[in-house]
């Protein structure tokens, strides 16, 4: 079977999703999980875009050693140099140079002619090659580029040292038949094409990213660029989980293999969703909440008799547990630690102590604690930011008729107890106003979402919010069986991120 190189760009193209925001620690956490998942290449970011992204790529290059660590660069000297500086400590570094090639981009965006584009491509690939042997080149908007010119650009890039040439469907314009014809033309008309791996990077504007990616494998493409949950610019990218599970499930049609550990898919999906603040739609293939739920009586009857009547994928194969955890308020620390280990979590003693204390609090409120509940507790602990202010107490009064009122007690930077109260249009609004009266960080709430982690009336509710402060977006998350408390935790999480960032700037 032919090996397909899985190139994950969640941390670069995925983070470009409108509203997604990741700090360096979150990007490292996702990179380590992508390593466990088994991806071959991690495109860690775009170092020249900001100092924060440079630092995150540099951190990943130092900490994650098995996969290739790739940095994206404009076809400009400073961008290529920055990419190398960010990844030079990686065990397997790659520089990915991109440059527009379609006439519409050349005329309206770059204001350059075709001869200039070829010269730039050659020079910047050669510059990257001076740093590392592993160089990828992408002619941006390839599917809207005149094929004869595309062939020239690719030939020049390979001659200059590109070892991978990526064919991006940048605006999700192609359909499978058309994309296959383009790849055929490249193999037939680029004389040195066999000196490079051919890659595909498909966007999902017409809902065809996965279909296009799979279609061109039989045409010689051996690297697929994709993201977890299909996140990315506009309508997103080809979804990694859909591609690899299609290859794994339909082995009768696809004679290809990957190094992906399918059992890590569900966990990776949840992590990316939680870190980016982008929920997965319930009907999303493979990882959606409804992907393995059956409502129809006919379907339920079939599943009870034989799972494969209505399921083509075993949910356990992607890391979904089929049983309910029996931990409760009488469970001890050892059993708790053992179960976390079974779920793939290794915590320090300090982290374990804090998480166990939170577990005990939850167990007093919730009778049945599931694996998903535990994952939420661990996620809160691992993604906790340095707290300038700690939420000590939330008390609300509301009803109809009545005026929603909230009293908040916080622990300040020097351990002082700070309390205040406020009225609001609802209990959450009152809570947020009371917190604002104490902390006084100017911001605008731009997004507020609530979801239930598990079923039942005592389910944990998870709140994700986004706020804007001084032109920057911050994500906050909180979880509790009380949705008002979860909302307060999420707001405090976001405000502490604002304060932590300001503290770093002022250092």
Residue 365 has a pLDDT of 78
Q: What is the dihedral of CA 306, 309, 313, 317, to 10 degrees?
A: 0
CATH among 3.30.160.270, 3.20.20.140, 1.10.3720.10, 2.40.50.140 for 390-506: 3.30.160.270
pLDDT greater than 90 at residue 299: no
Residues ≥6 apart with Cβ < 8 Å to 93:
61, 68, 69, 70, 71, 84, 87, 131, 132, 134
Task: Region of 220 please: left (phi>0), alpha (psi -120 to 50) or beta.
Answer: left
Residue 384 has a pLDDT of 67
Report domain extents, the chain.
2-276, 291-319, 321-382, 390-506
Tens of pLDDT along 213-229?
A: 999 999 999 999 999 99
pLDDT greater than 80 at residue 246: yes
Identify the weakest region by mean pLDDT among 293-297, 354-358, 393-397, 489-493: 293-297
pLDDT greater than 70 at residue 324: no
Are the folds of 2-276 and 390-506 the same?
Answer: no
pLDDT greater than 50 at residue 507: no
pLDDT greater than 80 at residue 434: yes
Distances (CA, A) of 299 to 249, 302, 304, 390: 20, 5, 9, 48
Are 431 and 396 in contact, with CB atoms under 8 Å apart? yes
Q: Is the peptide bond before 417 cis (omega within 30 degrees of 0)?
A: no
Helices and strands, number each (H, E), in the chain: 16, 16
What is the three-state SS of 234-288? CCCECEHHHHHHHHHHCCCCCCEECCCCHHHHHHHHHHHHHHHCCCCCCCCCCCC
Are 117 and 101 in contact, with CB atoms under 8 Å apart? yes
Residue 323 has a pLDDT of 41
CATH number for the domain formed by residue range(s) 2-276: 3.20.20.70
Q: What is the mean pLDDT of residues 349-364?
A: 86
Are 279 and 17 in contact, with CB atoms under 8 Å apart? no
> Tokens 């996965």 identify what position?
210
Residue 505 has a pLDDT of 44
CA distance 474 to 351: 24
Distances (CA, A) of 11 to 73, 97, 285, 475: 14, 17, 21, 16
Tens of pLDDT along 1-45?
A: 699 999 999 999 999 998 787 889 999 999 999 999 999 999 999
Are 351 and 382 in contact, with CB atoms under 8 Å apart? yes
Q: Rounded mean pLDDT of the chain?
A: 91
On the 0-12 / 13-18 / 19+ scale of CB atoms within 10 A, 194 is exposed
- DSSP designation for 423: E
pLDDT greater than 90 at residue 109: no
| Band (105; pLDDT cuts 50, 70, 90) | very high
Q: CA nearest 277: which of 480, 36, 446, 69?
A: 446
| Band (452; pLDDT cuts 50, 70, 90) | confident
When mean pLDDT is compared over 34-43, 479-488, 497-506, the highest value belongs to 34-43
Task: Region of 456 please: left (phi>0), alpha (psi -120 to 50) or beta.
Answer: left
CA distance 262 to 244: 8
Cut 0.85: pTM above it? no
Tens of pLDDT along 148-194?
A: 999 999 999 999 999 999 999 999 999 999 999 999 999 999 999 99
Residue 345 has a pLDDT of 80
Half-sphere exposure of 393 (CA within 13 A, CB side): 9
Distances (CA, A) of 466 to 143, 268, 277, 470, 475: 35, 22, 8, 13, 5
CA distance 317 to 263: 5
* H-only helix segments in 130-197: 147-160, 176-189
pLDDT greater than 70 at residue 259: yes
């Amino acid at each position: 079977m032919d090996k397909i190189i899985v190139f994950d760009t969640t941390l670069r193209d995925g983070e470009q999703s409108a509203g997604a925001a990741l700090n360096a620690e979150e990007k490292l956490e996702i990179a380590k999980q992508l390593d466990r998942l088994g991806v071959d290449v991690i495109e860690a970011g775009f170092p020249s875009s900001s100092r924060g992204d440079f630092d995150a790529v540099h951190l990943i290059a130092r900490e994650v050693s098995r996969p290739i660590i790739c940095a994206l660069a404009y076809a400009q000297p400073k961008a290529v140099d920055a990419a190398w500086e960010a990844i030079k400590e990686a065990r397997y570094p790659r520089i990915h140079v991109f440059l527009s090639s379609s006439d519409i981009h050349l005329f309206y965006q770059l204001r350059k002619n075709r001869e200039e584009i070829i010269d730039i491509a050659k020079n910047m690939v050669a510059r990257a090659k001076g740093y590392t042997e592993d160089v990828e080149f992408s002619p941006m908007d390839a599917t809207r580029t005149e094929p004869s010119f595309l062939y020239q650009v690719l030939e020049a890039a390979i001659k200059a040292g590109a070892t991978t040439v990526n064919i991006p469907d940048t605006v999700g314009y192609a359909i499978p038949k058309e994309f296959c014809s383009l790849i055929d033309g490249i193999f037939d008309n680029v004389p040195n094409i066999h000196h490079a791996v051919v890659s595909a990077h498909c966007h999902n504007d017409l809902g065809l990213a996965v279909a296009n990616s799979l279609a061109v494998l039989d045409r010689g493409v051996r690297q697929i660029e994709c993201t977890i949950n299909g996140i990315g610019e506009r309508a997103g990218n080809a979804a990694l989980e859909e591609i690899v599970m299609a290859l794994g499930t339909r082995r009768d049609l696809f004679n290809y293999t990957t190094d992906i550990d399918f059992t890590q898919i569900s966990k990776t999906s949840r992590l990316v969703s939680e870190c980016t603040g982008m929920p997965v739609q319930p009907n999303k293939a493979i990882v959606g909440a409804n992907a393995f739920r059956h409502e129809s009586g006919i379907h339920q009857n079939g599943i009870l008799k034989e799972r494969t009547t209505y399921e083509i994928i075993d949910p356990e194969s992607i890391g979904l547990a089929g049983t309910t955890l029996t931990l409760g308020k009488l469970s001890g620390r050892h059993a708790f630690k053992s179960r976390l280990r079974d779920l793939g979590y290794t915590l320090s003693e300090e982290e374990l102590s804090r998480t166990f204390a939170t577990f005990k609090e939850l167990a007093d409120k919730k009778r049945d604690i599931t694996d998903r509940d535990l994952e939420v507790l661990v996620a809160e602990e691992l993604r906790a930011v340095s707290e300038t202010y700690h939420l000590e107490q939330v008390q609300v009064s509301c009803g109809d008729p009545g005026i929603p009122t909230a009293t908040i007690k916080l622990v300040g930077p020097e351990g002082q107890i700070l309390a205040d109260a406020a009225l609001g249009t609802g209990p959450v609004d009152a809570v947020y106003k009371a917190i604002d009266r104490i902390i006084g960080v100017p911001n605008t709430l731009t997004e507020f979402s609530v979801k239930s982690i598990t079923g039942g009336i005592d389910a944990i509710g998870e709140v994700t919010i986004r706020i804007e402060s001084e032109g920057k977006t911050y994500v906050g998350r909180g979880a509790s069986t009380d949705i008002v408390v979860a909302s307060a935790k999420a707001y405090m999480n976001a405000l502490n991120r604002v304060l932590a960032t300001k503290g770093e700037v002022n250092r």
